[in-house]
Amino acid sequence: MFHRIKPRAAMAILPALLCIPQPAAAGETKPEPVRLGEVPELPASESVMYDEARDMFYVSVMGGDDPGDGYIASITTDGKTADRGFITGLDEPKGSAVVGNIFYVSDGKELAEVNLDDKTVVRHAAPGAVFLNDVAADDEGNIYISDTGQSAIYRFDTDKNLTLWMKTNLLNRPNGLLIEGDTMYVASWGERQGEGEDATSNGRLLKVDMTSHAVEAVTPVPVGNIDGVQRYGKDGFLISEWNGGKIYHVATDGAAREILAPGQSVGDILYHQGRKQLFLPMNRQGKLLVYSLVAPE
Ligand SMILES: [Ca+2]
């Protein structure tokens, strides 16, 4: 059982198990996540990222509806300490990225730029934004922010100009972003298809050429309300499907195969290749789930 934990309190939640990946059986091809633990009391947690320079995890916590009740929790990699006051005063923080000593996080219709040395926050309004979501940086330190509300992506360049970078229905309500070189992978939330309990979404994993802005589908078949996308092994991906509450492995041919069903509202996930660990922010459950998961060679 897990006890109530106060901010900054030590938590024996993510045990020493954190360092023990589950070995894959010989010849095994199906990814087999093994649950390690969880970090509770992260209400409406939406996204998790890893800051390599500081060796720390950051979880975006939206909290409730009160202005300023959103925050970023930092979690040590041994899982023993969570600082729920790491960055405070946000509203609905979602995707984030770190470049140098700056932490960027989307917050409603703004990009918040947080100096990690002194925690000062500068807000930048995205002109015409509807629902900003994930954040990713390119190799030069430019920041890209998806706008799920209007099938657009904004760009915050290194001269601090925040402009509309791309807008097309081909993005199909973009959510998670993953940039590798000149390629941007986009997890599209999609449009609702059908009615009532049988409704689905036509979201797919997409691929954008960042020079030509050409959009291609990675998954030929729609998957659903895709939220997060992470690289998995050399050629594959892991994606989260929010509504159905599932994690899929996307193989090189674009086939998406379910590997885990953590429950509805699984958000912007993190796969840490070096640690061989998968982190799942569970919005409605208000916690971060941690799994061991070996990646293919
Ligand atoms: Ca909030």
Residue range 75-81: mean pLDDT, rounded: 90
Give yes or no for residue 67 having a pLDDT over 60.
yes
- Residue 292 burial class via C-beta count within 10 angstroms: exposed 0-12, middle 13-18, buried 19 and up: buried
Ligand 1 centre from 145 Cα, in Å? 19
Residue with tokens 């918040």: 112
pLDDT in tens, 200-220: 999 999 999 999 999 999 999
Lowest mean pLDDT among 27-31, 47-51, 63-67, 153-157: 27-31
Higher-confidence position of 290 and 17: 290
Give yes or no for residue 16 having a pLDDT over 80.
no
The per-residue pLDDT of the chain, averaged, comes to 91
Ligand 1 centre from 182 Cα, in Å? 34
Ligand 1 centre from 71 Cα, in Å? 8
Give yes or no for residue 23 having a pLDDT over 60.
no
Q: What is the pLDDT of residue 29?
A: 64
Ligand 1 centre from 5 Cα, in Å? 20
Give yes or no for residue 30 having a pLDDT over 80.
no
Of 9, 94, 13, 6, nearest in space to 287 by CA: 13
- The helix (run of H) or strand (run of E) holding residue 272 is strand 270-272
Contacts of 212 (CB under 8 A, 6+ apart): none
Distance CA 66, CA 63 (A): 8
Give yes or no for residue 8 having a pLDDT over 90.
no
Residue 18 — very low, low, confident or very high, per pLDDT cuts 50/70/90? very low
Give yes or no for residue 9 having a pLDDT over 70.
no
Using CA atoms, how far residue 87 sits from 14, 102, 109, 240, 265, in Å, is 22, 12, 18, 26, 23
Joined tokens for residue 67: 């202005």
Ligand 1 centre from 220 Cα, in Å? 36
Residue range 155-165: mean pLDDT, rounded: 98
pLDDT in tens, 89-108: 999 999 999 999 999 999 99
Of 164, 170, 165, nearest in space to 151 by CA: 170
Domains of the chain by range and CATH? 16-292 (2.120.10.30)
Ligand 1 centre from 95 Cα, in Å? 14
